[in-house]
A = this chain, B = another copy of it.
Amino acid sequence: MASTSSLTLSQALQAQAISYHAFRQSPDNRISFSPHSFPAFFGLKSMAPRSATSSRRLPTRQLRQVRAAVVETLDATAEASLVEKSINTIRFLAIDAVEKANSGHPGLPMGCAPMGHILYDEVMRYNPKNPYWFNRDRFVLSAGHGCMLQYALLHLAGYDSVQEEDLKNFRQWGSRTPGHPENFETSGVEVTTEKHLAARYNKPDIDIVDHYTYVILGDGCQMEGISNEACSLAGHWGLGKLIALYDDNHISIDGDTDIAFTEDVDKRFEALGWHVIWVKNGNTGYDDIRAAIKEAKVVKDKPTLIKVTTTIGFGSPNKANSYSVHGSALGAKEVDATRKNLGWPYEPLHVPEDVKKHWSRHIPDGAALEAEWNAKFAEYEKKYKEEAAELKSIITGELPVGWEKALPTYTPESPPVATRNLSQTCLNALAKVLPGFIGGSADLSSANMTIIKMFGDFQKDTPEERNFRFGVREHGMGAICNGIALHSPGMIPYCATIFVFTDYMRAAIRISALCEAGVIYVMTHDSICIGEDGPTHQPIEHLASFRAMPNILMLRPADGNETAGAYKAAILNKKRPSILALSRHKLPHLPGSSIEGVEKGGYIISDNSSSNNPDVILIGTGSELEIAARAADELRKEGRGVRVVSLVSWELFDEQSDAYKESVFPAAVSARVSIEAGSTFGWEKIVGSAGKAIGIDHFGASAPSARLFKEFGITVEAVIAAAKEVSYSQ
């Protein structure tokens, strides 16, 4: 799978993930994909026979030894000179690939090669031939502009994804080594999941979930507000299996960090509840790095920050320790000087035989680790059948048969309810049937209506629970949910705030879209319906802004059936995130609304005309669909043929056949009126130049919401007037 080199796969891989801070670091060049970011899981089912075979070949005792050997390299490693040589191999793979592309970031890989080597060669447990192995340790290159570090490590470790050809095609069209790491910032996130799943599925006799998350982050990461949000939560939750190596090199793009960043990072992390270790010589103090990681693993109730002081561009005699080595190729002359300085006689992109041989053990070792785990899982399955089945569904992402029957349905006689409350009913129904369903709100759970009543809070001492309390940290919340979604295909995270605050987390939402992380964004108070809170709280342009974003479902359900339909679409669209825009105020259940309709994105809820030729088409979304329906009632009393269309998701509607689209919006009917309590931007596409879009193209105001709807003309009367205007003009 990962060894195919088709453009399609390559693009899919590119789209999978992002090292978030990484690409914050320079506008000009970088990438990498790390195993943990592959969303597809070539599941237990297909692996099982192989594991069975392996475990027949490798009896348990032998497996234990393999693992022990891997772990003990922490103390007693390969011959010192070979380590040095391996580290220089990593450095020159980066230097040469960047040089060939004449684009990229050599500085970080040159400075971080020692910690990279120690992590991938000595510390981490993974199987190069199955990057999707569930129990692998995770690695996140937060400072991902230095992606050549990770490409080099994946290459040495024997991953099919980064072969020699890929290194040569660094940052080129169609390559599998694009300019920025297609991972994403997940400090604390995968570990969170690990902690949660471990708490739910580990047994006194079998630790079936048992892996670490390692992160390399840089000065730029430290400056971004989101990293403080995420690290504050990681400290609060006591994520003991999160080990972050901070590449303290004192250089950012604009020069020495002294110009903008003079805080005491160690002290800040201590304040956030982290264990902090300082490795003063990260360039050559290999044993110090090893000892620090060892110490970090001993601290089980706190995440650990290892501040590793390094020299950016280590080895370059004229450019080391300067911003010039951050984001540009060294240049032929300096590459030569660096070769001389580090005593490196080899051709570009060459891996010396002894280094190759040294690293070659990771393929059999990794297979053995996975086989051992598979054997353990087989044992677990025998003893704990139910838990094993559940965990398997989390690992594979297979949804339980008939899950969608848990979703509620409604009739026009059901009492009016706000869609935010209808959403809560759906969340609680889904939590019962989907073992990987988990989430929470950014300190607005009682407004967003997101509490799962059958579960308690996920906290340091109750990690098996499923209600997250993210605090007022929207951006961190989104990033954490991305991490959860990409940890295992069966994890389905949701997160919530009020719709206008998507502005605070837009970068995380875009990463969901780019990574194909099926996060569900529960966004309530989706218009001026928020009322007295005023214009700061009233979304206007937000629906339009997400409709313009690639690979995301923007859903705005109108009532009970549509809310259920929106959740069905969200769960089924695992490869794209969904945003549900929900009302604060009560809405009636409309005749004609349906789950099936939502799945088509746009559909007719009522029509008194025939031959697909109404006098006018009224189009609404969410809370304004009711207004369209009421206007239609009035117009029909006057003898007009009126169709009402719910356009709950533009993206899903766009994907329907031309015939279906024509059946909803016949080309011959240009008399169209849309109503939506938000920007009209983009609605010309639907209503055409002969139609009329009713909306709000200015900021809102502070007053009770009914008053605002009236003052801003989001009314039945306005729809009726517009309908008459556009049909007369025909």
Q: Which residues does A use to contact B, with CB under 8 Å? A: 11, 14-15, 18, 20-31, 101, 103-104, 171-175, 178-180, 182, 219-221, 223-229, 232-233, 235-236, 252-254, 257, 259-268, 270-273, 441, 443-448, 457, 459, 469-473, 475-476, 498, 501, 503-504, 506-507, 510-511, 513-514, 524-525, 530-537, 540-541, 544-545, 547-551, 584, 679, 681-682, 684-685, 688-689, 697-699, 701-704, 707-708, 711
Of listed A26, A235, A514, A537, residue having the most chain B CB within 10 A: A537
Q: How far is the CB of A688 from chain B (nearest CB, A)?
A: 5
Beyond A172-B704, A225-B229, 20 additional contacts (C-beta under 8 Å) are: A27-B530, A28-B584, A29-B531, A172-B703, A174-B703, A178-B534, A180-B533, A221-B472, A223-B229, A223-B472, A228-B229, A236-B260, A260-B443, A265-B271, A541-B549, A545-B549, A548-B682, A682-B684, A684-B685, A689-B689
Q: How far is the CB of A7 from chain B (nearest CB, A)?
A: 10
B265:A532 contact, CB within 8 angstroms: no
A503:B501 contact, CB within 8 angstroms: no
B444:A254 contact, CB within 8 angstroms: yes
Hey, which chain B residues are within 8 Å of A544, CB to CB? 544-545, 548, 681-682
Known contacts being A27-B530, A532-B104, is A550 close to B540, with CB within 8 Å?
Answer: yes
Q: How far is the CB of A178 from chain B (nearest CB, A)?
A: 3
List of 6 A-B pairs having minimum Cβ-Cβ separation, nearest first: A225-B225, A178-B702, A260-B471, A173-B703, A267-B271, A545-B545
Closest to A266 in B: B271
A541:B532 contact, CB within 8 angstroms: no
Closest to A541 in B: B548
Hey, which chain B residues are within 8 Å of A445, CB to CB? 254
Known contacts being A260-B236, A265-B271, A443-B254, is A550 close to B699, with CB within 8 Å?
Answer: yes
Of listed A457, A506, A507, residue having the most chain B CB within 10 A: A507
A264:B271 contact, CB within 8 angstroms: yes
A224:B223 contact, CB within 8 angstroms: no
B103:A532 contact, CB within 8 angstroms: yes
**Alpha-carbon separation in the docked complex, A707 to B173 (Å):** 7
A703:B171 contact, CB within 8 angstroms: yes
List 19 interface pairs A-B (beta carbons < 8 Å), by A numbering.
A23-B533, A28-B532, A29-B531, A31-B702, A171-B702, A173-B711, A223-B472, A225-B475, A233-B260, A252-B471, A252-B472, A254-B444, A254-B446, A262-B273, A264-B271, A267-B270, A268-B271, A541-B550, A548-B548
B223:A225 contact, CB within 8 angstroms: no
B457:A259 contact, CB within 8 angstroms: yes
B236:A14 contact, CB within 8 angstroms: no
Q: How far is the CB of A167 from chain B (nearest CB, A)?
A: 14
Q: How far is the CB of A240 from chain B (nearest CB, A)?
A: 16
Closest to A101 in B: B532
Closest to A252 in B: B443
Q: Which of B14, B267, B273, B443 meets A534, CB within 8 Å?
A: B14
Q: Which of B227, B459, B540, B549 meets A259, CB within 8 Å?
A: B459
Closest to A29 in B: B532
Please tell me how many copies of the chain the complex holds. 2
Known contacts being A472-B223, A682-B544, is A701 close to B550, with CB within 8 Å?
Answer: no
Hey, which chain B residues are within 8 Å of A471, CB to CB? 223, 252, 257, 259-261
Q: How far is the CB of A362 from chain B (nearest CB, A)?
A: 27
**Alpha-carbon separation in the docked complex, A5 to B470 (Å):** 41
Known contacts being A233-B260, A472-B252, A689-B689, is A699 close to B514, with CB within 8 Å?
Answer: yes
B25:A472 contact, CB within 8 angstroms: yes
Closest to A327 in B: B447
**Alpha-carbon separation in the docked complex, A182 to B459 (Å):** 36
Hey, which chain B residues are within 8 Å of A443, CB to CB? 220, 223, 252-254, 260
Q: How far is the CB of A348 from chain B (nearest CB, A)?
A: 19
**Alpha-carbon separation in the docked complex, A69 to B498 (Å):** 47
A14:B535 contact, CB within 8 angstroms: yes
B27:A537 contact, CB within 8 angstroms: yes
Hey, which chain B residues are within 8 Å of A227, CB to CB? 225
Q: Which of B180, B265, B459 meets A537, CB within 8 Å?
A: B180
**Alpha-carbon separation in the docked complex, A171 to B231 (Å):** 37
Closest to A497 in B: B27
**Alpha-carbon separation in the docked complex, A701 to B176 (Å):** 11
Hey, which chain B residues are within 8 Å of A267, CB to CB? 267-268, 270-271
B263:A532 contact, CB within 8 angstroms: no
Q: How far is the CB of A689 from chain B (nearest CB, A)?
A: 5
Hey, which chain B residues are within 8 Å of A446, CB to CB? 253-254
A698:B260 contact, CB within 8 angstroms: no
Q: How far is the CB of A601 from chain B (nearest CB, A)?
A: 16
A15:B699 contact, CB within 8 angstroms: yes
Known contacts being A268-B268, A544-B548, A701-B178, is A498 close to B534, with CB within 8 Å?
Answer: no
Hey, which chain B residues are within 8 Å of A530, CB to CB? 27-28
A220:B472 contact, CB within 8 angstroms: yes
Q: How far is the CB of A621 from chain B (nearest CB, A)?
A: 15
Known contacts being A224-B225, A263-B235, A541-B550, is A254 close to B533, with CB within 8 Å?
Answer: no
A535:B27 contact, CB within 8 angstroms: no
Q: Which of B257, B506, B685 meets A503, CB within 8 Å?
A: B506
Q: Which of B235, B259, B510, B514 meets A469, CB within 8 Å?
A: B259
B23:A534 contact, CB within 8 angstroms: yes
Of listed A30, A252, A263, A549, residue having the most chain B CB within 10 A: A263
Closest to A507 in B: B503
Q: How far is the CB of A551 from chain B (nearest CB, A)?
A: 7
Closest to A509 in B: B503
B224:A229 contact, CB within 8 angstroms: yes
B476:A225 contact, CB within 8 angstroms: yes
**Alpha-carbon separation in the docked complex, A224 to B708 (Å):** 30
Q: How far is the CB of A575 from chain B (nearest CB, A)?
A: 13
B532:A514 contact, CB within 8 angstroms: no
Q: Which of B171, B459, B513, B533 meets A27, CB within 8 Å?
A: B533
Q: How far is the CB of A492 from chain B (nearest CB, A)?
A: 22
A173:B704 contact, CB within 8 angstroms: yes
Hey, which chain B residues are within 8 Å of A23, CB to CB? 533-534, 536-537
Q: Which of B22, B175, B472, B536 meets A18, CB within 8 Å?
A: B536
Closest to A274 in B: B263
Known contacts being A14-B535, A180-B537, is A548 close to B681, with CB within 8 Å?
Answer: yes
Q: How far is the CB of A527 from chain B (nearest CB, A)?
A: 12
**Alpha-carbon separation in the docked complex, A547 to B540 (Å):** 12
Hey, which chain B residues are within 8 Å of A711, CB to CB? 173
Q: How far is the CB of A32 from chain B (nearest CB, A)?
A: 11
